[in-house]
Amino acid sequence: MAIVRYEVVEHDGGWAYKVGDVLSETFRSHEAALKAASDAAARQTLAGNTDGIIYQDGEGRWHEELADGRDRPSTEVVDEP
């Protein structure tokens, strides 16, 4: 099972959280960024609807799949000084 990591970091004169190389908006306080990261991590684990999806891969091929809305990743929030 995949684990999605939300990491609280200093950013652009404030605080943000990042997932991989992607940063959130900037928050004025560490507390606000931590709350936003925790909220986003919790939402990521919520089940959705099973539905058909169509997507194009990096080589330009199209794929059709059934995405199971119950297949959600585990999440963690990392807040290290």
Cα–chain-centroid distance for residue 39? Answer: 10
User: Is 64 within 8 Å of 53 (Cβ atoms)?
Assistant: yes
Strands 3-11, 74-78: pairing is parallel
How does pLDDT run across 15-71, given as a tens digit for each residue?
Answer: 999 999 999 999 999 999 999 999 999 999 998 889 999 999 999 999 999 988 888
Q: Which residue has the higher pLDDT, 80 or 39?
A: 39
pLDDT in the model for residue 1 = 62
Q: How far apart are CA 17 and CA 11, in angstroms?
A: 9
Q: How far apart are CA 45 and CA 11, in angstroms?
A: 26
Q: Enter the pTM of the model.
A: 0.76
pLDDT in the model for residue 68 = 87
